[in-house]
Chain A
Amino acid sequence: DAKTTQPPSMDCAEGRAANLPCNHSTISGNEYVYWYRQIHSQGPQYIIHGLKNNETNEMASLIITEDRKSSTLILPHATLRDTAVYYCIVRVARSRAGNMLTFGGGTRLMVKP
């Protein structure tokens, strides 16, 4: 699996967009970028994933660079409840052999009033 690099922490003002970067320069062609978050020791929560096109859902947007070596998760209007650790995970999807998720240290996002 491709290794990912994320900043350990970020701050964001409430109501502003939170842009969380992730570097995955060794990503291969069949690997997807997944984002999860963990709010204060609760179970991780799936946010979004993508292969090469930008994706958007009700929670967030995912922007993947054309060379796929990095991506950015965007929370368009961050709220205090978005304070969490955000994990960027790169994996081959649809693999019978291994569907496990490997969590790194993630980015601790603090949304401030």
Chain B
Amino acid sequence: EPEVTQTPSHQVTQMGQEVILRCVPISNHLYFYWYRQILGQKVEFLVSFYNNEISEKSEIFDDQFSVERPDGSNFTLKIRSTKLEDSAMYFCASTPGLDQSLEAFFGQGTRLTVV
């Protein structure tokens, strides 16, 4: 069964450093997303991406965040200058197309720890 893969599974970084979280969505999917979940809290939407541009973003997704699809397969989330409060699980998701736009396939997540 096709799946969304995320790397690394766990990343530890120093406060102020840049991190890049990587995702390989399912190959024929058109919509891509990043969500995050702070320990013990709800899953929160960050950003959606379609046709090589951001289609929607939340208030959390401020200027320190950026997304990119550098080639035909990878989808990345960059955090420019990490803060302690960025520590969370980050989930990538993808959906096939507009008609199935809410049947999302999620990756297993990257646990980001900022120290």
Contacts and interface: CB of A to CB of B under 8 A. Distances in A.
B106 A44 contact: yes
A9 to B, nearest CB: 15
Contacts of A49: 102-103
Nearest to A104: B42
Interface residues of A, number: 25
Nearest to B91: A43
Interface residues of B, number: 28
Nearest to B58: A100
Interface secondary structure of A, over-half rule = loop
B19 interface: no
A94 interface: yes
Contact of B106 (A34, A45, A91): A45
Interface secondary structure of B, over-half rule = strand
B56 A97 contact: yes
Interface of A: 32, 34, 38, 41-46, 49, 89, 91, 93-105
Among B48, B98, B101, max chain A CB count under 10 A is at: B101
Nearest to B95: A99
A103 B104 CA distance: 13
B65 interface: no
